[in-house]
A and B are shown apart, each in its own frame.
Chain A
Amino acid sequence: MRELSGQNSWENPERLVSRLVAQLSHQVLWDSLLCFSPPLLVFIYMAGYLYHGAWVGPLAALLVTLVSIGMGILVVTFRYRPLVPSVAKASRLVDEHTGAKDRFLTLATIDPSRSPAALVARLRAETAGFLDRIELRRDFPYHVKNSSYASLIGSALALLLFHLLLPVAHSTLTSLPAPQRLREVAEKMAARPRLLEITRSLQTLAAKLEDPRVAREERRALIEETQKKVGEQQKKEEQKDDRDLLGQAASTLKDLEQQSGAGQDRQKNNEKGGGGMQSNLPQEGQGKGKPSPGGGGEQKGEMSAQLSKDMQQGKTAQGDPKEQSGEKNSPKQGDGKSNQPDPNRPDPNKPGMEKGKDSAGKTQGGGDDKGGRGKASEEIPHGTPPADRFHQAGEQGREGIKGARYVTVQLPEEMAAETKGEKGGNKDAKGNRVGSKVPVSNVPLPAHVPDAPTETQQMPLEYRGIIR
């Protein structure tokens, strides 16, 4: 306390109040800064992140940053100014700490020139006696306010949310058609002379992608070629902006490649299936699928999955009503219905399946019908399924079967048998292949893949009841 007295001896009460005002003002400023800095930094970080990720241009990022800083300064100022303690408030604080009964307040706020000098001097002398009771750093320490902690936590959460939602936003934004994205990138690149070649390639690719006449193989080749060009240019490019643009292009092309690759994988998976069921449901990514070159008549180029004889009779396919409920989900071994292979299980009749594929392969290139159906199978079917698959009850089907409301499913062994039979030539008078007298699926037979694994395609649920 002696040291404290010595420290305070040089100052008068008015100066003490001024010092307290300054100290409290600094504290309020710190409070405001700590409260508003985290969200401001988060905003700037977000802008920078979006800029580096090429989501926004440099101008937008700069604008957002500047606006954020400006808003931050405004908010800090608006919060800081009203909270800056007045001389009266500060002197009241001192009075409360020292028990001076508003002496500091009076001394700090009165106009000495308009007050009796004797009384002012007396008051100053009285007030100076209370200076020893206060030490500003000790009595008014700075504490971080709860609002600062709340701001920090809120900002961290916002940052976390930003990073969590960014992929969602990315997927939403990139859901634009690939050609359009390519065109957008190409437009940006057009302003850079060094990227003109890439720009043209991208524009060409976009046009090709939109052209339905272009074959998938050609598209894929074009994508790969453009990717190579972009990759090479990326390696050469030194400017950051150009690299970013090339990165965008590469990303879009990669997406395209993945889509086409996935389509190919799916098609391969379809091809791996032996005597499974064929469907004309829309299938993506068939660009790599081998197009049927035509020929083979109406039935050529398509896989005819045929029911067993029992199933053709409707007996087994529909099932005995009495048995259906009990046995529908529990096929018995040895039952006629259990002849239907489980598509999930590995097919033990792999050779048969291969034969079936062989037979499909043999159908290529023959006949008058120049692959109309084979070509159509490459296109993604839209709208309602073909009428010949879903006839109304009692309606005369194309193949002359009444009441056929099911698709045919050909088991591997049947396919093998059919293939053998075809060798003898099951053709009509015109030489066209005569199909079986059951409704058939219009999905073309997948291309033959030697040593392909067994089919893993799930049988659609809508057919299971019918088959069993």
Chain B
Amino acid sequence: MNRRAVLAIVRKDLRAVGRSKGVMLPLVLVPLVILGVMPAVVSWVPSLIPPEAMMGVEGFLARMPEGLRAELSGLEGAQRLLVLVLVYFFAPMYLIVPLMVASVIAADSFAGEVERRTAEALLYTPTTDGELFLGKVLAAWLPALGVGLGGFLLYGLVADLCTYRVVGRLLFPNPMWLVLLVWVAPAVAGLGLGTMVLVSSRVRTFQEAYQLGGAVVLPVLLLVVGQITGVLYFSLPVVALLGLLLWAVDAGLLWYGARTFRREALITRL
């Protein structure tokens, strides 16, 4: 394995992405809104709810799974609402960030390179198919981890700053979110990446890849809906299991992607 070539591909892809406004805009805006603005707004909401309306909230909480209600026991109305939303409901929302970052960069790196026809010169270099694939995968995966970590820090900071006065303790970091950060977020980034590798092998443009690959966000949205409707909640075991499931799917996707990533197939699409 030629590590120098792999790192060169990673560096070059990141540099190119950094200079593309069309690619950078969602990479900056989406994490900022989801992990910076939204927790601040959500933290402010309980203070707007009149005490009598809190009864409705209690009814809503009653429909939540037993384990979650146990987690929230000992907290008062506004505190409960904040913990429920910021710690549990937002957990799958957080996963959208590494998923989206990996998807956008992978679409640019795989389909974009074909669209711009820059792939042709790349395929005439002495790099092997495996090195090319690894370079492209890392170029999308590593920034997703970086943004995921940065987003986690931002989210934790905003949430703690905005809720400390009401809750009286720090909500972040906590064990479930740490598992989310180190175990699930990398896996979900791999899911976005693996999906985009598959999609990119069948389309010719960045836009096509991004639009088709965007469907990968649906399972994450199902997790959000699942929590809101009380079907499941992000307990530590559930999160650990979710990570395991995602890693298994990633392994399948990347194994298939690596098998089908052949310069012969790529060059005939140019």
Partners in one complex: no
B residues at A contact (CB < 8 Å): none
Spell out A's residues near B (CB within 8 Å). none
